[in-house]
Structure 1
Amino acid sequence: MPSDDLDDLIKDLEGASPYTTTQKPKGDQRKTPQPEGGKEITEPDQNPKPRIRKVSKMLRDNKNMEKYYEPRAVSIGLLHYGRDKFSLAEGHKLKLAELFITENGVDEFGLHRKIKAKIVRLEQCYAEEDARRVNINDENLAWMFLIDGFALLNYICYASLGKLNDLKKIGMDMEAFSQDLFLLENQIPYEVLDDIMTSAAKGGANMRNLIDRFIDQTVRDIRGSPLTSPSPTSTSTQQQQQPPPAHLLQLLRNRLVGDHDHHKTNEKTKTGKRVGRVNELKSAGIQLKSGTEGSLRDNISFASHWLTAAGTLTLPCLVVNGSTAPKLLNLIAFEMSPDFQNDSQVITSYIFFLHSLIDQPDDVKELRKAHVLINNNDNSVAGRDEEVVRLFKEIGSSDLDSIPEPEAYLRVKEQIQKHCEKKWKTWMTLFAFSAAAIAILVMSFSSRLGAPALN
């Protein structure tokens, strides 16, 4: 894109500044523009996706948690559009967009017409009550989607290639930008990214591979190392079996959880039993083991060793630090969305499973010793055991006991409970047997003491 054209675009957008609202015409029905032949491009979505929305009040009630849901550096998408705190970042996004357009041979004006033609459907990707506060006409809304999409894809491509240092000249805080990419309230429809990649004259197909690499690296950051990555063939097959994600955050969830699970949770057993804290399990002879391979849904199990009255609880490995906490909490917020269509809230279930194990810093210490929790030598406050306890207690302050859990989690909880009950009964039996044996010995000794002496 020639620099003069970009300057014109900036002037057009600044003419109706993103930080002053552009009123829609009164009574505007948001009719979608029609191409030749009169048929609307945007038709009802046959496979509705979960909408991009504000994090639920239930999760936001704790003021200490709000920082995990609010963008730090940049507004992406509709929900934080126009806020003064992000005015500087708007200029940075335009620079990223210009660089992306130039390097990838994108026809930004043709793309704008395409995006504007289906703007109604794209706006409907947001919860109506959350999008209603933003007054922006179709023209500028289409540009907003495109500029955000260009900036997002440019960052992902450079990050995947290990070339983020090349973007320092733009002036944006890239670390903060990376955190803001996976906030529920900071998403744009994945369809926009797909349209941009399809239209790119240079490297469009490779961009999809770079997104896969970026998501895989993010999964490794969350799960720790080592982590067995799926082969390119298996990843491609898995993606073909899954419907397109609603946004980047859902793509991350799909990769963390594994195969797309359509199963319904048994209504009679959807609420799992609580398990004891780590040191209570340790007292019951249960050892912890880290599972570094597999998904968060499948890589949890319990084995009871009857001969030794011991047990082994295998848990997915997880990094908990200042970088991963916002991602995990926004994944929970996504799973708790009212229109989340999957009954298996895997990430929420696992985090609350960990919450039930953690009460004191020594619980965190045991989880770290077993390599279930990793801080990767993070020196931030979130890396300390006390802060991990605080984080999980804050998470547990939300009353989410009725969440439907994956069968794997329900089964493990039941197995742990049976193991503890079995061990308790075993100890009671041994105690009773020992008490009876001692009583017999005492009676025998007493009877001997009371027996007449032999001449």
Structure 2
Amino acid sequence: MGEINIYSNTETQRRPKQTLQPEDGKPKPLIRKVSKMLRDNKNMEKYYEPRAVSIGLLHHGRDKLSLAERHKLKLAELFITENGVDVIGLHSKIQTKIVRLKQCYAEEDVKRVNISDENLAEMLLIDGFALLHYICYASLGNLNDLKNIGMDMEAFSQDLFLLENQLPDEVLDDIMTSATKGGANMRNLIDKFIDQTVRDIRGSPLTSPSPQQQQQQPPPAHLLQLLRNRLVGDDHHQTDEKTKTGKQQVGRVNELKSAGIQLKSGTSEGSLRDNISFASGTLTLPCLVVNDSTASKLLNLIAFEMSPDFQNDSQVITSFIFFLHSLIDQPDDVKELRKAHVLINNNNDDDAVAGSDVEVARLFKEIGSSDVGSIPEAYLEVKELIQKHCEKKWKTWMTLFAFAAAATALLVMSFSSKFGAPALN
């Protein structure tokens, strides 16, 4: 990033080799490439690649994203000016912990990019400045004020939640601490931005967690994990009854409908973990907006949960999406979910909605075709209840069929007895 240098008179200091552990004493998941088994599905690759901007190490220096480097620099300069940041002191601080920050990325990616420690510190700060400036303006509804920068803000917003495009949260913390004008409020603005993103995914805002609940959550490694924490809710415990292993299957939506099962949208307050249930012939599911933007976020959350160093047995997002996949085979399944307000389409054009149903069905088929290996059989209890309901319904139909057959036979016998057998010539 030689041409993008917002620092002056910064000396590279000789530093001893560091072997620092994460400050909270717990390992955090690394920022790494999406697993090969997900990337091998060529139809899905577009959901993992940045469209407009590189954030962090993994896509640094890519030619197709070079234009955005100038846009990021403009955002960074605006952030510095508006927030009173001591750039020289902050750069020095980041350099003193650069070894630990490199350990936030997979070692093979650090070697592949081959960037000096000083340039890496500079790059992390420019990306952090640009990221925070965008988030602050987006959370306050002031993105129109950034139009003159030339950045595709919609693409920028989507790129922020790619697994391969994450920035260590520690960098953002250091920047916010350094900002003398409004830095103390920036964490609140990040939370507000995440709330807005959750609303875009769920179709309505969730109940905000209490300060005590927020303290119980482990510090996120990056923005994508913060989004997952917000969607999933309380997730500091290990595998529970809802995520044990098993092979119970459920039919597609219209098969369940034939078995007398009704669909219902859950409350907007519930997390993805707690908002799936089955009782009295009704399957309750969380509402979900499905479009290219939300698909990208959800698929990157799946990629995050499938990372080899993901420190949790509860792959809630993965489990939820594959549960939906089991329900969707054809566009008419999507239509039923949409009629029940489980899947949300804000387009009022009937033809566009029908086309969207086809696209959503195609998306879930592609998700199901991904070679994800072993996934948790989540919501096993719900699936077992559905299966028992269907078996009971089937037994009821078989009983009625047998009763009807027996009644028909009795009528025939009664008719034959009353009128006698026909005479034979």
Q: TM-score, normalised by structure 2?
A: 0.92
In structure 2, the residue matched to 1:141 is 120
Matches within 5 A, 1:236-275: 236-264=211-239, 269-275=244-250
Instruction: Output aligned runs, 1:52-451, within 5 Å.
Output: 52-225=31-204, 227-230=205-208, 234-264=209-239, 269-291=244-266, 292-304=268-280, 311-377=281-347, 384-400=356-372, 402-406=374-378, 409-450=379-420
1:333 maps to amino acid: A
Structure 1 pair 321–43 and aligned structure 2 pair: CA distance change class (3 A): closer
Secondary structure of 2:323's match?
A: helix
CA distance 1:40–1:136, change in 2 (3 Å): closer
**What SS is found at the alignment partner of 1:296?**
coil
The CA distance in 1 between the partners of 2:195 and 2:366, in whole Å, is 28
Give, in angstroms, the shift of residue 268 of structure 1.
11
Q: State the alpha-carbon separation in 1 of the partners of residues 114 and 355 from structure 2.
A: 41
> Which is further off, 439-448 or 352-361?
439-448
Q: Which residue identity lines up with residue 294 of structure 1 in the other structure? A: G
Cα distance, 1:352 vs. partner? Answer: 0.8
- Once residues 255 and 110 of structure 2 are traced to their aligned partners in structure 1, the CA distance between those partners, rounded to angstroms, is 47
* Identical pairs, percent: 80
TM-score of the pair, normalised by structure 1: 0.86
| 2:38–2:371 Cα contact (<8 Å) kept | no
Matches of 2:293 and 2:89 in 1, distance apart? 38
CA shift for structure 1 position 251? 0.2
Aligned 8 A contact 1:97 1:151 in 2: yes
Which ranges in structure 1 are unaligned for 5 or more consecutive residues?
1-5, 14-30, 305-310
Structure 1 residue ranges, 4+ long, deviating more than 4 angstroms after superposition = 10-13, 265-269, 378-383
**1:86 Cα offset (Å):** 1.5
Distance, in Å, in 2 between the alignment partners of 1:199 and 1:328 is 33
Q: C-alpha displacement at 1:314, in angstroms?
A: 0.4
Corresponding residue SS for 2:271: coil
Q: CA deviation at 1:340?
A: 0.8
Give the Cα separation in 2 of the matches to 1:172 and 1:256: 28
After superposition, the C-alpha distances for 1:256-294 in whole angstroms (9 at most, x for unaligned) are: 011124223579941342210110000000011011330
Q: For 1:50-80, what per-residue CA distance to the aligned partner results, in whole angstroms no more than 9, with x for missing partners?
A: 1111111111111111111000111000000
* 2:5 aligned residue: 9
| Structure 2 CA distance for partners of 1:206 and 1:92, relative to 1, 3 Å | same
Given that 1:375 and 1:383 are in contact with CA atoms closer than 8 Å, whether structure 2 keeps it comes out as no
Q: Which has the larger displacement, 281-290 or 86-95?
A: 86-95
Encode CA deviations 1:364-402: one digit per residue, 9 max, x unaligned: 111110111112218889961111111111110013362
Q: What is the RMSD computed on CA atoms of the aligned residues? A: 2.6
* SS of aligned partner of 1:288: strand
The CA deviation at 1:431 is 1.3
Give the AA of the match of 1:76.
I
| Offset from partner CA, 1:151-183 (integer Å, 9 cap, x none) | 000000000010001111211111111110000
> Are the equivalent residues in 2 in contact too, given 1:42–1:117 (CA < 8 A)?
no
Alpha-carbon distance in structure 1 between the residues aligned to 2:242 and 2:277: 22
SS at match of 2:265: strand
Check 1:271–1:53 CA distance in 2 against 1; reply closer, same or farther (3 A cut). Answer: farther
SS in 1 for 2:113: coil
In the alignment, the residues of structure 2 paired with residue 197 and residue 356 of structure 1 have an alpha-carbon distance, to the nearest angstrom, of: 44
